[in-house]
Structure 1
Amino acid sequence: MHRPPKTATTLLALLLYMLRLVSCAPPALPSDAVALLSFKQEADEDNKLLYALNERYDYCEWQGVKCAQGRVVRFVVQSMGLRGPFPPDTLTRLDQLRVMSLRNNSLFGPIPDLSPLSNLKTLFLDHNNFSGSFPPSLLLLHRILTLSLSHNNLSGSLPVRLTLLDRLIALRLDSNNFSGALPPLNQTALKLLNVSNNNLSGPIPVTPTLSKLNAASFSGNPSLCGEIVHRECDSRSRFFGPATSSSTAPLSQSEQSQGILVVPASTKTKRHQKTGLVVVGFVVAVVLVSVFGVAVASLVKRRQTAVGKAVVVERGEVEGGVEEGEKEVKVRRMEEAHRSGKLVFCCGEVQQYTLEMLMRASAELLGRGSVGTTYKAVLDSRLIVTVKRLDGRKSEGSDGAVFERHMEAVGRLRHPNLVPLRAYFQAKGERLVIYDYQPNGSLFNLVHGSRSARAKPLHWTSCLKIAEDVAHGLAYIHQVSSLIHGNLKSSNVLLGTDFEACITDYCLALFADSSFSEDPDSAAYKAPEARNSSRRATSKSDVYAFGVLLLELLTGKHPSQHPFLAPADLQDWVRAMRDDDGSEDNRLEMLTEVASICSATSPEQRPAMLLVLKMIQGIKDSVSMEDTSFTRLS
């Protein structure tokens, strides 16, 4: 009888022994069970949660836990007497979690990073003893519908980027110690908001969503003002009128946009005012026809009134770093402006106000750039507009008929992603451009946040939406006219009432002051072929600026900090700046590729803006298909 070789028999026996060992080994603990037990170990110092794991899926039967297909989707342990910190890297491993409620316990310490809970829809952390600032990781929970942090010991300012939580239905932040201004919340789905009993201050932003709420939502914040709380806000100085408030501090680029409402920092140093009342006397040598004489007298009276309200801020006031007490206020006479100028409304717009109403409006300085100075003007009718006063030296040197034809062409541009140009005015040495006011700030402020805190890059879905909006606006300008933007940058992209991205200051680069010293970030948007002369700017220059803007969105880095890299290295840099875990690689690669193509050195290598828009829409469609598949699986 044939026997197998001894070596083969030994190997077979060894294999059978190893199989028995493997079969007898205890199964690995499920990751969701590990997450729950890790949380209990630190957050349940009094052992209120009686969790024990005897079988592999016992944890799905634990108190407060609900599973679907073996994964935890709901964790509700409210009013359980839990005491301890909320340990990081525990519950955040439950990546299929939809509902989390830890309310009405005695948990303390900071709220950890919850950004890995990408599927979370409901989060209740209220009635605990959590401390620290508002957790910035919550801004990355893009499926969140209900969020409650009330009755804790949280402090600090509320982040402006709360606006990114666009699916929110209910938000409660009451009874903490939040301070600063209230973000301009305008989530169309938001039905419940409570920020009462904090330390918020300033005007309540005028948005359709906040206007629907009652005063109780904001009670207990004595420094809040506005119509909703029936408390009048401090008035501002008159537009082109006597400067009654202290001068405004020099503005950085983050404030050279409509997103920052610059409130005078101090009223201790009174500005020496020059109120020049220039009385223009007309000597009537010969007795004229009585009717003509009355008309002249009436005209003189109107001119004298206008002169007294013609105080404007000197050009150097924003550019220089001069102390408040040393700044000068310059009296400008508007006599010639009233004599020869008129307010022209564009594209058949109904005239809602006159030049005199505009001169009487209260004004607030918003920023200063190469094109001119921007003001927020509140008219007597409560209408708010943005007024850009073009640089005087450039205006005086250009032909009035050219200016009028150009502004008529710009005024005909109408698109949801363009801030509408409503009217313009020109007279000798004076040119004004009037836009709709956008209350929700600029993209610059959204991306870079406050000066004191390093803002994380926006979630890729926000980057995609903003990129599509801006591409829509630019493509429209290029398709329907021979015009170009010429000055695209994040401070010239504003957020509309529904937080759509809207381009402003478009087609005004023709009137830019070439002597204005731009900051490095603004200069970085300029295409190589347009850096020496703005006249050489083309539609491909706008595409280059769009590429720089897209990289700014993806990385959160100022344009002057963007390295010059090959496309492959650019992908690695973007990933490194975002600190991603790899879950967004595919989408990031596609968006980064678009930015790389747009910012090519040679204009011939850059695609037309319409093609760029189609590329972004293709990325959006692929994401929508993935979301549809995810919803079906859920």
Structure 2
Amino acid sequence: ADLDNKLHYTTNERFDHCTWQGVKCAQGRVVRLSRLDQLRVLSLRNNSLFGPLPDFSALVNLKTLFFDHNYFSGEFPLSLLLLHRLLVLDLSHNNFTGLLPENLTVLDRLGSLRLDSNRFNGPIPQLNQTTLEAFDVSENNLTGPIPVTPTLKKFKISSFLHNPNLCGEIIHKPCHGSPFFNSGGGDGGAAAPSPPTPLLQNAQSQQGLSDTSGLSIKPHRKNVGLILGSITGALILAAAKRLMKSGNLVFCSGEEELYTLEQLMRASAELLGRGTIGTTYKAVMANQLIVTVKRLDACKTAVTSGEEFEQHMESVGVLRHPNLVPVRAYFQAKQERLIVLDYQPNGSLFNLIHGSRSTRAKPLHWTSCLKIAEDVAQGLAYIHQASKTIHGNLKSSNVLLGSDFEACITDYCLAMLAIDTSSEDDPDNASHYRAPEIRKSAKRATAKSDVYAFGVLVLELLTGKPPRQHPCLAPPDMPDWVRAMRDDDSEDDMRLRMLVEVASFCSLSSPEQRPTMWQVLKMITNIKEFMEDDSPS
């Protein structure tokens, strides 16, 4: 404290920030920051900022960066490696993906590095900064053995938690070999990476496909462990020749055959996640075409015959709608079934709402909720009418964000291929989206149970709370709970209440009382029209 008043500063003095160096204003508002080469601390934490980070290399004197609790995405911003004075870097609770750069060690003054609650994949670099006192990479998709450096050995297991494919001395988890194939048809356990090898080269000595897959990498980077393997293909017992003979890559709905089965099998891969009935990968082929491949769990889908699977995929493969992720091709051979879909670059709605399992500072703006709800309702209504079938497993992790951040439904119409899994592990809170009549009996999902799941999804959007935290309330009490969770007095209460009412109608316990999806879509359209009519001209 300045007890002797020696500092020339008073709290009553008014500063004009528009006169500060590097700050450009228009009509009294900051519109641009530039020439901030003397900036030491930059904190953007706890906001709703999204997209990739810009280039920060010009801010050469930065020492502290807080970007946590936002929606930033993209790969690790390499411009940060040029900020050699950095002492604190916090990118936690965002949607960053890709590899951690090997040369993170160039930031040799780092005292705190937090990268937790993102979707980074691949190995942990050989960090050796003696200055590093705080470190956290938990809740990512990191893989392989943790380097046993003096720096990393200082940290507790909690710094590495919730990376299922990490192993090594530091976390007391042994590393095993990572063959591309295992002897069974189901998903195998996680394993440490091995040197990259194209899938077909392993086919002649292995039997099944392991679910630990990864990216092929160049020989001079053989120490970079990714989740290695290849995602596609099911070479069982008789290897490549038998595979080509027993199974074909079938393209749906007259789709142009842009790649062959062999090209798909040689694709490099990145594990995106494990769901109720399978494992999902991002596949990058040699021609740089990117697709998503879903490998169905052989045990759970064994109840569906090969002929039934083919007929089902033919009917699902013709569905085309702006709010559906299109199915492009499928493959089946003994104990293996793969579905090829378009890759969606901006992650899932689950990550947008919850930020990779983190707790957001505040829910999405209600107009964003309305737009996403309309997109999902459009896609779901189309499924119900065009195919006369159902989604059967609607949840926020099965809603992906397209290139323009439009909401696109995925994994639609697949639940009927598998046995009921409601009693098994529930990583995505899937059971909380299930309608009461489905949870309490052996009944199959229906269009009205899809409507129930949609209502739960809308409440998740509006409150930012996962379904397991939703209270059991009567419809009249629901708006007050939603308003309390949002804690924002500036919002339009009438329109927000209208959207909450839609969610409440959808999640009524009696299926007969729930509206159809087309009726739901009409309700949402009415809210939009009400907004437009009430807006100033």
Flag whether TM exceeds 0.5 (same fold).
yes
Does 2:396 align with 1:482? no
CA distance in 2, matches of 1:550, 1:45: 53
Paired residues, what number? 426
Give the counterpart of 2:341 among 431, 435, 444: 435
- Secondary structure at the aligned position of 1:425 is classed as strand
How far does residue 618 in structure 1 lie from its aligned partner after superposition? 1.9
How far does residue 267 in structure 1 lie from its aligned partner after superposition? 6.9
Give the counterpart of 1:246 among 123, 140, 144: 144
CA distance in 2, matches of 1:494, 1:585: 28
How far does residue 607 in structure 1 lie from its aligned partner after superposition? 1.0
Q: Pairwise mapping of residues 41-120 of structure 1 onto structure 2 (< 5 A)? A: 46=9, 76-79=18-21, 99-101=28-30
Does 2:514 align with 1:606? yes
- Secondary structure at the aligned position of 2:478 is classed as helix
Q: Which amino acid aligns with 1:557?
A: K
How far does residue 309 in structure 1 lie from its aligned partner after superposition? 6.6
User: Which residue number in structure 2 is paired with residue 512 of structure 1?
Assistant: 418
Give the counterpart of 1:456 among 359, 362, 385: 362
CA distance in 2, matches of 1:570, 1:514: 31
Does 2:516 align with 1:618? no
Is contact 1:387-1:433 (8 Å) kept? yes
Q: Pairwise mapping of residues 182-581 of structure 1 onto structure 2 (< 5 A)? A: 202=99, 246=144, 265=166, 270-273=175-178, 306-308=203-205, 312-313=209-210, 333=237, 335=239, 337-451=243-357, 453-515=359-421, 517-519=424-426, 521-532=429-440, 536-581=444-489
Aligned in 2, Cα 1:421/1:138: closer, same or farther, shift over 3 Å? closer
Instruction: Give CA deviations for 1:564-598 in whole Å, capped at 9, x if unaligned.
Output: 11122111110111111253312211111110011
CA distance in 2, matches of 1:570, 1:351: 50
Give the counterpart of 1:156 among 66, 80, 84: 66
Instruction: Give CA deviations for 1:393-431 in whole Å, capped at 9, x if unaligned.
Output: 243332222111111110111111111101001122211
Aligned in 2, Cα 1:429/1:460: closer, same or farther, shift over 3 Å? same
Instruction: Give CA deviations for 1:156-176 in whole Å, capped at 9, x if unaligned.
Output: 34555257xxxxxxxx9x977
> Which structure is higher in helix share?
1
Q: Identity of counterpart residues, as a percentage?
A: 50
CA distance in 1, matches of 2:414, 2:281: 16
Q: Which amino acid aligns with 2:387?
A: S
User: Which residue number in structure 1 is paired with residue 44 of structure 2?
Assistant: 134
CA distance in 2, matches of 1:277, 1:611: 48
Is contact 1:370-1:514 (8 Å) kept? no
User: Which residue number in structure 1 is paired with residue 192 of structure 2?
Assistant: none
Is contact 2:94-2:356 (8 Å) kept? no
Aligned in 2, Cα 1:265/1:463: closer, same or farther, shift over 3 Å? same
Instruction: Give CA deviations for 1:18-40 in whole Å, capped at 9, x if unaligned.
Output: xxxxxxxxxxxxxxxxxxxxxxx
CA distance in 1, matches of 2:277, 2:258: 26
Instruction: Give CA deviations for 1:21-77 in whole Å, capped at 9, x if unaligned.
Output: xxxxxxxxxxxxxxxxxxxxxxx96369976xxxxxxxxxxx96xxxxxxxxxx734
How far does residue 480 in structure 1 lie from its aligned partner after superposition? 1.1
Aligned in 2, Cα 1:528/1:577: closer, same or farther, shift over 3 Å? same
User: Which residue number in structure 1 is paired with residue 159 of structure 2?
Assistant: none
CA distance in 2, matches of 1:276, 1:597: 48
CA distance in 1, matches of 2:291, 2:334: 23
Q: Which amino acid aligns with 1:400?
A: G
How far does residue 367 in structure 1 lie from its aligned partner after superposition? 2.0
Is contact 1:372-1:391 (8 Å) kept? yes
TM-score, normalised via structure 2 length: 0.67
CA distance in 2, matches of 1:466, 1:604: 26
Aligned in 2, Cα 1:78/1:429: closer, same or farther, shift over 3 Å? same
CA distance in 2, matches of 1:235, 1:139: 27
TM-score, normalised via structure 1 length: 0.58
Instruction: Give CA deviations for 1:508-563 in whole Å, capped at 9, x if unaligned.
Output: 00123435614282101011122255753111111100000000000111101111
How far does residue 337 in structure 1 lie from its aligned partner after superposition? 3.8
Is contact 2:303-2:418 (8 Å) kept? no
**What's the C-alpha RMSD, in Å, of the aligned pairs?**
4.6
Is contact 1:310-1:331 (8 Å) kept? yes
CA distance in 1, matches of 2:182, 2:316: 37
- Secondary structure at the aligned position of 1:618 is classed as helix
- Secondary structure at the aligned position of 1:435 is classed as strand
CA distance in 2, matches of 1:444, 1:623: 27
Larger Rg: 1
User: Which residue number in structure 1 is paired with residue 190 of structure 2?
Assistant: none
- Secondary structure at the aligned position of 1:431 is classed as strand
CA distance in 1, matches of 2:93, 2:436: 41
How far does residue 435 in structure 1 lie from its aligned partner after superposition? 0.8
